[in-house]
């Protein structure tokens, strides 16, 4: 298998081929995911919950993200590697540039992901100007859980939906190379995907996004609570490897997410 690059992902978007993405935090899962043919491996700050046992992502540090990103990138030969910038690691553009550079140089990330809309336009522009690919993250943003008042679908009313769409277009214009869209109505996911030239990866955003991402522990059914947008692929598979390949196949064929996994 050839190495997936940002050019590869943009070509998939243009040709209408679905992109499969899954989280990994350690060498064992990263290797299995890579060998299965995953397009993107995301080293998510979700490790705060699934690895560290916290209630949210807020306690995850830059040290944590660099450590786990390095482990994953060291064994990944095929998948494109994205790493989350943790809570308050990009409060100013200058701070964001320094921390993003560390994730790339020390962690081996090929792209960094940060949460938030128009308020981070200057930050994304600065990173792009310094050659650091950026994935924006809109809709439900886990680092803002205290502000949002819990895990809630975003963009259900017309005003909020319009704001999310405006933010998506703005962040693309200032240099974002990809967008993760989380927990929004499926019709909003479809609209934003159609309007953007960059790949849009959905999680609880409907089947019409350019690709899908799940947390590996949700995919194999070992998290305490299964979110509506996720699916236990191990339940109908003989092994973890088979479950991951089934996920990739269902994403590619637009079978996942189904009606039961959308808002």
Instruction: Enumerate the active-site residues.
Output: 182
* Helix, coil or strand: residue 214: strand
For residue 111, give every residue at least 6 positions away whose Cβ sits within 8 Å of its Cβ, in sequence order, or none: 6, 80, 81, 82, 83, 132, 133, 134, 135, 177, 178
Pair 64, 86: CB distance under 8 Å:
yes
* Nearest CA among 172, 154, 145, 188 for reference residue 49: 145
Backbone angles phi, psi at 200, to 5 degrees: -115, 120
Backbone angles phi, psi at 182, to 5 degrees: -115, 135
DSSP conformation class of 86? P
- Bridge partners of 81, per DSSP, are 41
- Bridge partners of 202, per DSSP, are 181, 212
């Amino acid at each position: 298998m050839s190495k997936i690059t940002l050019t590869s992902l943009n070509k998939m978007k243009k040709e209408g081929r679905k992109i499969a993405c899954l989280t990994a935090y350690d060498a064992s899962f990263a290797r299995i995911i890579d060998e299965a043919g995953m397009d993107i491996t995301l080293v998510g700050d979700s490790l705060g919950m699934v690895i560290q046992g916290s209630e949210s992502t807020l306690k995850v540090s830059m040290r944590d993200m660099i450590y786990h990103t390095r482990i994953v990138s060291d064994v990944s030969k095929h998948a494109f590697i994205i790493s989350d910038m943790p809570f308050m690691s990009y409060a100013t553009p200058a701070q964001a540039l320094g921390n993003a550079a560390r994730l790339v140089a020390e962690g081996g990330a090929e792209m960094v992901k940060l949460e938030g809309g128009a308020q981070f336009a200057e930050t994304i522009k600065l990173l792009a100007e310094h050659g650091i690919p950026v994935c924006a993250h809109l809709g439900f943003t886990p680092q803002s859980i205290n502000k949002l008042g819990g895990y809630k679908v975003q963009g259900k009313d017309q005003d909020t939906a319009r704001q999310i769409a405006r933010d998506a277009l703005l962040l693309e214009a200032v240099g974002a190379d990809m967008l993760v869209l989380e927990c929004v109505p499926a019709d909003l996911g479809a609209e934003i995907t159609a309007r953007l030239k960059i790949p849009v990866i959905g999680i609880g955003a409907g089947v019409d996004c350019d690709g899908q991402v799940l947390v590996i522990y949700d995919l194999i059914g070992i998290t305490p609570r299964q979110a509506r947008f996720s699916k236990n692929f191990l339940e109908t598979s003989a092994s973890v490897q088979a479950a991951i390949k089934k996920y990739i196949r269902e994403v590619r064929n637009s079978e996942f997410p189904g009606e039961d996994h959308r808002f």
